[in-house]
Amino acid sequence: MRLRYATPLLLVPALLAFQPRGTQLTFSVAEGATKTKSFTNSVSMTLDDMSMLMNGQESPMMPQISMTVDSVLEVAVTDVYVGMGDGAPKKLARTYDSLAMNRSMEMEMDIMGQVQNQSDSGSAKSELEGETVHFTANDEGAYTPSFPGDEGDEELLEGLTEDLDFRALLPAGEVEEGAEWKVPASALRHILVPGGNLKLEAEDDGGEAMMGSDSEIGDFQDWFTDDVEGEIVATFSGMKETDEGVRVAVIELTIELANAVDLTEKARESMADADLPAEAGEMEINGVDIEMEIEGTATLLWNPAAGCAHSFEMDGELSLIVDTAMAISAQGMDMDFEQSMEFSGSMTVEATIE
């Protein structure tokens, strides 16, 4: 009788061992591995509404303006995982293979029946292109960038970030299909602004600066600061096989982000560098403030066998409010000028890791 009752008890540990387990999604790239990563981030915006005050009153010469602004940021790097820690690199060697931004703007302005059209385009490159930077983690997991042998322009290192691995989007432990978890809003900044401040500088000024131009609107790294707020919900949708035969985990994300940014200093720098006509008089920028919102969805494909991301795609709807305040002295008149511009559009991100 003792044996009869003992047998089921002996089977319990074995049965538990065969219970279905969740999927473990962790970053576990092999030490010494090399990965090439490419990002293409695109923004397309249209001016929806505009208001203007001069000395606190509506301008009698309020123009009718239509405007579209497009930007494309392309980043390609090669990362060598020189040393690995628990779930993150201890030391990473990154070579910036290609860094570029292209912009274009189309505007039609109607002032009392006088129509003017303006097209503006330009590109930006970085002195980091072709350079290799080492990212070394301290005991708290913060990374310090440096040039090999400490030979290079230290100013190029300011604002660079290490994480291009989508690590912050992963769950804390094992997950089963359908499981949800929340991701900090700040985690998406590594994706929307891949690599941090890449020191992209315009190759030409693209013509005269003007109020409401893309120089005042800023760009990706201006809109998505560390103060970004919102909610990101991730869902594990199960496993699938890609067209290339790679078995990947599918993580779907819903995204709601908002941020308020003061671009006054950036706008002042742009104005100081602008070649304005003499009749423009003297201009002093008192403030440029931006409010940004983005809602969208994204899909992260994670390769458990390689311990890293396979690809990432995001589609979002973007809204932007740009408020500008200026003091203008021209043709013997002093004016306080306030302008508000509301834009809407889209933002897409495509990334691959090989």
pLDDT digits (tens, 9 = 90+) for 158-177: 999 999 999 999 998 888 99
pLDDT digits (tens, 9 = 90+) for 321-336: 999 888 888 767 778 8
pLDDT at 16: 42
The per-residue pLDDT of the chain, averaged, comes to 84
Q: Give the lowest-confidence range in 50-59, 126-135, 144-153.
A: 50-59
d(CA 219, CA 100): 13
- C-alpha gyration radius of the chain: 26
Q: What is the pLDDT of residue 270?
A: 73
Is residue 137 scored above 80 in pLDDT? yes
- What is d(CA 318, CA 297) in angstroms, rounded to the nearest whole number? 12
Kind of pairing between the strands at 308-330 and 333-353: antiparallel
In the chain, % of residues over pLDDT 90: 50
Given a cut of 90, whether residue 22 has pLDDT beyond it is: no
CA angle 151, 144, 185 (to 5 degrees): 135
pLDDT at 331: 67
Amino acid at 255: I
Beta strands in the chain (DSSP E): 34-54, 57-58, 64-84, 89-111, 114-126, 132-137, 143-146, 180-183, 200-202, 229-241, 247-262, 282-303, 308-330, 333-353
pLDDT tens per residue across span 221-252: 677 777 788 999 999 999 999 999 999 999 99
DSSP structural state of residue 190: H
Say if residue 19's pLDDT is above 60: no
Residue 12, pLDDT > 50, answer no
147's torsion region: left (phi>0), alpha (psi -120 to 50) or beta? beta
Q: Supply the pTM of this predicted model.
A: 0.83
CA-CA distances (angstroms) from residue 284 to 219, 300, 332?
Answer: 22, 45, 16
Tokens 């044996």 appear where? Answer: 3
First to last CA, the chain: 61
pLDDT over threshold 80, residue 9: no
**Average pLDDT of the residues in 299-316:** 96
87-126 exposure pattern, b = at least 16 Cβ within 10 A, e = fewer: ebbbbbbbbbeebbbebbbebeeeeeeeeeeeebebebbb
More confident residue, 63 or 4: 63
Q: Which two tokens stand for residue 216?
A: 């005042």
